[in-house]
Amino acid sequence: MEATTETPKKSLNFIEAMVEQDLREGRNNGRIQTRFPPEPNGYLHIGHAKAICMDFGIADKYNGICNLRFDDTNPAKEDVEYVDSIQEDIQWLGYQWKNVYYASDYFQQLWDLAEKFILDGKAYIDEQSAETIAKQKGSPTVPGVESPFRNRPAEESLALFRNMNSGEVPEGAMVLRAKIDMAASNMHFRDPIMYRIITDHPHHRTGWTWKAYPMYDFAHGQSDYFEGVTHSLCTLEFEVHRPLYDWFIDQFQDSDYRPRQTEFNRLNITYTVMSKRKMLQLVNEGLVTGWDDPRMPTLCGLRRRGYSPASIHNFIDKIGYTKYDGIIDLGLLEHSARETLNKSATRVNAVLNPVKLIVTNYPEGQTEVLNTENNPEDPSAGSRELIFSRELYIEREDFMEDAPKKFFRMTPGQEVRLKSAYIVKCTGVKKNEDGAIEEIHCEYDANTKSGMPDANRKVKGTLHWLSTENAVDAEVRLYDRLFSIENPSADERDFRALINPDSLKVLTGCKVEPWLKNEPALAHFQFQRTGYFNIDPDTTADRLIFNRTVSLKDSWAKEQSRS
RNA sequence: UGACUUAUGGUGUAAUGGUAGCACUGCAGUUUCUGGAUCUGCCUGUCUAGGUUCGAAUCCUAGUAAGUCAACCA
């Protein structure tokens, strides 16, 4: 384990640096505890993966623990459906929490704490309407005005608070507010709401037991405290909440221990949206097929698209954690997938847009078995067999009748190699009445079979192919960026108008190697010279469906688009 | 016209007062039975102005720009 050659030490991100300093200073008795605190109101996306890798990663690296805590303080939005999917996605990423907690586990503790705030004169019941309270908040530059209920007797507030939870008080009739400072420059200090009434939705765990529910600011930090969290890591938009987080804890902290909140930048990626609201809209309005649509940035969508946990981790490792709110190039995510899949994906011949190629000098009825490697990057992946015959399929785009000089593929008179098979030379084409190409004809050189003496002859192009004898049909779904502009969130136009109309292309009548019929859903492959693909879960016994995860880099396409 | 935060190549991220480096992208080449992968090289950067210091991307001040905050959401 001792590294004798000095490998350059990977630099720490600012949170790791902070944790190491806390450890050196013996803070919280050297204990490290984090939590991942999703609200169960939607599916996890790649941005959550960044947070998950941070929360669980810190715990793993510094011998701490990380718990999963559902921040379920708003029954109007939450559902068990989400609780389940969130757990599945975290485990898919390869993490295991120490405990599962729910903010709703602490409803009684929070209630008791709130009563203490009331008795201490630090909270009061306000019976004004939401609009009035909002108006009285003032603005960042104008101080707020105090509620007429602000200085009512504690006993009165306490009685009303208990009424709030009785079911007798309608929603919106009263709230519990912290008594802080209506002139504070931080808006969150202007007597923030601690409790509100929700009577028309049962809580997904506590049912109809509670009528008054704590707000985020009075639940999150307190839950951290109850659990013994040392490092409460969250994204930058909670920066302005931190003083309030600290204020609440200051009011009842009773030992050296205290949790501390630290914020890092959230993940933004070009050509997609990462807001739950917008993603929900895409799903509800049928603009995508569901939360797991392979174009979605959700973890279930990426999984279905063909991203492996390793490729997600590869990506997260590249992007870093800072306090600068930038936007990551989608190309980096795609690169992360290619880099990971290149090492693990079995190579396959698949012809997406087939045209017949007839090897005119190959005996009719004859077939032979050829051998080909499964992955040139990984010799241990072994090899498999391909059937060669007189009639083959190749890609329509791999043939041009009048080819430019740089076209290395099949064109009359030019030799090309059929991968793992023979060198062939195009001798002509057969067209139908409309002039469309029906068949391409070629002759093969029997001495050029892979491994034979003349096989080393240099040819510019190598094509993938399939025998018509045993190729099987497949549907292939090609995905592209969901939005046609880099940063749809920063655009004034409705984001739905910015959806890329070509984000999905469905190809039918594609041909693939026959054994792929028996592969399980989500198994991933490289279609040689084309891209990385996986098997879609919609696949049935008689309908084989592939999703393109990401294309291979294509310098020929680039060359073409230049002219 | 408030508070908090941030500013390093096109993008993201290192350098923790002492040589501005890495990755992606782009470009050129090498190599290849995938126009993939590999390998090599190149392009491009410390927001501005002051100050502290032998020395500043780093510390200080001011400016500029950007993000977040005024839900009975989290």
Spatial separation of the C-alpha atoms in residues A152 and A483, rounded to whole Å: 54
**pLDDT value of residue A9:** 63
In contact, A429 and A391? CB cutoff 8 Å? no
- Supply the DSSP symbol for A74: -
A 369-428 residues, CB < 7 A, strand B: 375-377, 406-409, 417, 419-421
Spatial separation of the C-alpha atoms in residues A288 and A296, rounded to whole Å: 8
Spatial separation of the C-alpha atoms in residues A147 and A157, rounded to whole Å: 13
A450 strand B contact, CB < 7 Å: yes
Residue type, A198: I
Give, as ranges, the nucleotides of chain B with any atom within 7 Å of a protein CB.
1-8, 10-16, 23-27, 33-38, 66-74
**pLDDT value of residue A452:** 86
- pLDDT per position as a tens digit, A120-134: 999 999 999 999 999
- pLDDT per position as a tens digit, A317-376: 999 999 999 999 999 999 999 999 999 999 999 999 999 999 999 999 999 999 999 999
Spatial separation of the C-alpha atoms in residues A54 and A316, rounded to whole Å: 9
In contact, A109 and A115? CB cutoff 8 Å? no
Rounded to 10 degrees, the C-alpha dihedral A201/A205/A209/A212 comes to -60
A489 strand B contact, CB < 7 Å: no
Residue nearest to nucleotide B66 (CA to C1'): A325
- pLDDT per position as a tens digit, A307-320: 999 999 999 999 99
ipTM above 0.85, yes or no: yes
Q: Which of A264, A270, A265, A275 is nearest to A328 (CA)?
A: A270
**pLDDT value of residue A119:** 98
Q: Which of A307, A458, A470, A310 is nearest to A384 (CA)?
A: A470
Sheet holding A193-197, edge to edge: A123-126, A175-178, A193-197, A212-214
**pLDDT value of residue A4:** 36
- Supply the DSSP symbol for A447: G
Q: Which of A201, A198, A246 is nearest to A221 (CA)?
A: A246
A106 strand B contact, CB < 7 Å: no
Number of residues assigned to chain A: 563
A135 strand B contact, CB < 7 Å: no
Per the model's pLDDT, the better-predicted residue between A560 and A56 turns out to be: A56
Distance of A320 CA from B56 C1′ (whole Å): 25
- Sequence-distant (6+) residues with CB within 8 A of A107 are A206, A209, A210, A213, A214
Q: Which residues of A are catalytic?
A: 39, 266, 276
A467 strand B contact, CB < 7 Å: no
**pLDDT value of residue A265:** 97
- pLDDT per position as a tens digit, A219-270: 999 999 999 999 999 999 999 999 999 999 999 999 999 999 999 999 999 9
Bridge-partner residues for A507, per DSSP? Answer: A476
Please state, for a pLDDT cut of 70, what percent of chain A lies above it: 98
Distance of A329 CA from B44 C1′ (whole Å): 17
Alpha-carbon radius of gyration of chain A: 31
pTM: 0.95
